[in-house]
Structure 1
Amino acid sequence: MKRILSLALTTILATSLLAGCGAKKSDDHLARIKEAGKITIATEGVWAPFTYHDPDTDELVGFDVEVAAAIAEKLGVTPEFKEVAFDGGLTGVSTGTFDMMANGVDVTDERSKTYDFTEAYAYDHAVVVTLASNTDIASFEDLKGHTTANSAGSTYEAMGIEYGAAVSNVDTIGETMTLVLNGTVDATINANTSAQDYFNTTGTTELKVAAVDPEVTKYAVPLAKGSDNDSLREAINQAIADLRAEGKLAEISKKYFGADITAE
């Protein structure tokens, strides 16, 4: 009888240990992603050339879209893009609604309080765009007392407020530039790459870059803070390093920008 009881207790203990191991695995974000076979990625889908819809096919495309898809491939899972407003994407990452965000999210001290960032995968500069005829704004400091338009929750919105501008929130870069063109706002702060893409795509000569921020903008993947994301961050860092070494990041960059913005 004692032998039977001993065997029963051993079986129960072994089962408990296996269950414990399973629970530990499910607490790891990367393990959950691999188990699901997919990674959910927040993106706006309205900010060319980073994330937007091809005008001919309506397919979601862009630099960030392709980089995120390449990272997912390195992780061995399928990318599942969820289109959402910029601030909603960041909130969704912090609450666990999305696994990551790919939308030209630049690393800032303020964001680093809420998110753990991967290594940077691209570099840029913030610029001020005004009408070509504008002579009042020639620096970021000149924005004080003027009006700008930017996405809610973006670094560019924060910069506008920091420099004393009254900021109107918009959803797309097209809307942003239209507001500048028709004089509804005096300027917009945006990524130099996006501004140049807009100039080239539309052929407009009515807008100009009035000022360039000398500080380098670093684009990285934001993840929710927590030790359960350590392995995911390490895996994405390795994917970025591999894609850079293979020349894939540069290839995607040149496709959308005509230049390599993935090397600092």
Structure 2
Amino acid sequence: MSVHRTLTVTLAASALILAACGSDGGTDAGDGQTAAGDSAYGLANEGVLVVGTEGTYRPFSYHEGGSGELVGYDIEVVEAVAEKLDLEIEYQETQWDAIFAGLEAGRFDVIANQVSINPQREEAYLFSEPYTVSPGVIVVANDTTDIAGLDDLEGKTTAQSLTSNWGEIAEGAGANVEAVEGWAQSVALLEQGRVDATVNDKLTFLDYTNEHPDSPIKIAAELDEASLNAFAFGKDKTELVSAFDEALAELEADGTLAELGEKYFGADVSH
């Protein structure tokens, strides 16, 4: 699959590009652009989709070999969407705990990083249709015998990103939550015996144990709650959201989403 990709640029370079766009006197209103260079999608840079992503969240957004090309399920999905929309991509890699602040500050147009839809986020952001559906699981050490469901988390220590749905579920179950930046820290603390469990995404667990078959962890329980993950946008990006939804529908119909799911997980994870 061919993709449109541009190298991540510095903020200073972005400022120069924006200045250049603003200095050309604009274009006719009838062509869907404004004097500031915005496209019909509300992009600051005509023809370029700026994407916020972690780059450290395997298998969704990560660097091959740790320092190579940015790859992953989310990366390939957003690139397939961008190709449908005839847009190039610029990535802004950001830690999870700062990624929504970056969206609000206008550093990027969309987050592609397995963002779970929840009521609080729906109040603050716009979302595309979900492109990943995955149940939650409670992950524990192999020798753990006293955790078999959410009720057993009361008083236990779990490692969670505080801004994730799974962190809210763990807190709601009465767990003492130790804040981490993401799955990598959660599983490290669990393997070291420093926490009792982590509530997380099943697909993330399966990918990790596939890559680390000797990891001394297991799924203690699968939750009724499923994570519906979608692209997140600022409230001013209604046209862009509509375009994403149309592209995602096409990618589902032509089998691209199923193909990418098979590539990374061995199954279609889009519904």
Displacement of 1:105 in angstroms is 0.7
Displacement of 1:201 in angstroms is 0.9
Say how many residue pairs are matched. 245
C-alpha spacing 1:155/1:24, structure 2 compared with 1 (3 Å): farther
> Which whole-Å deviations, capped at 9, do the CAs of 1:175-205 have from their partners, x for residues lacking one?
2212111110111111100101111110125
The residue number in structure 2 matching 1:235 is 243
Displacement of 1:134 in angstroms is 0.7
CA contact (8 A) 1:50 1:103 kept: yes
> Which whole-Å deviations, capped at 9, do the CAs of 1:61-86 have from their partners, x for residues lacking one?
11011111111111111111111111
Whether 2:80 is the aligned partner of 1:65: answer: no
> Which whole-Å deviations, capped at 9, do the CAs of 1:144-163 have from their partners, x for residues lacking one?
11111123422222222222
Q: Provide the rounded CA distance (Å) in 1 between the counterparts of 2:38 and 2:46.
A: 13
Whether 2:268 is the aligned partner of 1:260: answer: yes
The counterpart of 1:87, out of the listed 84, 97, 121, is 97
C-alpha spacing 1:22/1:51, structure 2 compared with 1 (3 Å): closer
Whether 2:147 is the aligned partner of 1:137: answer: yes
The residue number in structure 2 matching 1:8 is none
More helix per residue = 1
Displacement of 1:51 in angstroms is 1.1
TM-score (norm 2): 0.83
Where structure 1 has 5 or more consecutive residues not aligned to the other structure, the ranges are: 1-14
The letter of the residue matching 1:98 is F
C-alpha spacing 1:165/1:24, structure 2 compared with 1 (3 Å): farther
Q: Provide the rounded CA distance (Å) in 2 between the counterparts of 1:239 and 1:99.
A: 16
TM-score (norm 1): 0.85
CA contact (8 A) 2:38 2:46 kept: no
Displacement of 1:167 in angstroms is 1.7
Q: Provide the rounded CA distance (Å) in 2 between the counterparts of 1:151 and 1:124.
A: 17
Q: Provide the rounded CA distance (Å) in 2 between the counterparts of 1:29 and 1:42.
A: 20
The residue number in structure 1 matching 2:135 is 125
Q: Provide the rounded CA distance (Å) in 2 between the counterparts of 1:114 and 1:62.
A: 27
Whether 2:213 is the aligned partner of 1:244: answer: no
The residue number in structure 1 matching 2:166 is 156
Larger mean CA deviation between 50-59 and 115-124 belongs to 50-59
Q: Provide the rounded CA distance (Å) in 1 between the counterparts of 2:152 and 2:198.
A: 12
Q: Percent identity?
A: 36
What is the CA RMSD across the aligned residues, in angstroms? 2.4
> Which whole-Å deviations, capped at 9, do the CAs of 1:201-221 have from their partners, x for residues lacking one?
101252111111113221111
* Residue aligned with 1:212, SS: strand
Where structure 2 has 5 or more consecutive residues not aligned to the other structure, the ranges are: 1-24
Which protein has the larger Cα radius of gyration, Structure 1 or Structure 2?
Answer: 1
The letter of the residue matching 2:145 is T
* Residue aligned with 2:225, SS: coil
C-alpha spacing 1:139/1:215, structure 2 compared with 1 (3 Å): same
The counterpart of 2:111, out of the listed 101, 104, 115, is 101
1:2-81 equivalence runs, <5 A: 23=34, 30-32=41-43, 36-55=46-65, 58-81=68-91
